[in-house]
């Protein structure tokens, strides 16, 4: 599955640049930052899970 978050972040940033309202520009910039933070934290969580052997315990026989 393809990760579309960078595209979403780029779209939000582009809309912020085009926005006429300062309030709208700030809201879009904040949304772009949130998307970036989620991407970064998701990557860190996945790395930690891989180090710990994953989230799912292997089936017991």
Instruction: Write down the pLDDT at residue 1.
Output: 39
Domain ranges of the chain: 5-51
- pTM for this one? 0.54
Residue range 6-56, pLDDT digits in tens: 678 888 888 888 878 889 888 888 888 888 888 887 777 666 666 666 655
Within 13 Å, how many C-alpha atoms sit on residue 25's CB side?
A: 6
Cβ atoms of 36 and 9 within 8 Å: the answer is yes
């Amino acid at each position: 599955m393809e990760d579309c978050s960078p595209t979403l972040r780029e779209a939000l940033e582009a809309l912020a640049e085009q926005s006429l309202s300062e309030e709208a520009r700030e809201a879009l910039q904040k949304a772009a930052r949130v998307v970036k933070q989620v991407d970064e934290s998701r990557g860190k969580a996945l790395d930690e899970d891989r180090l710990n052997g994953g989230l799912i315990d292997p089936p017991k026989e």
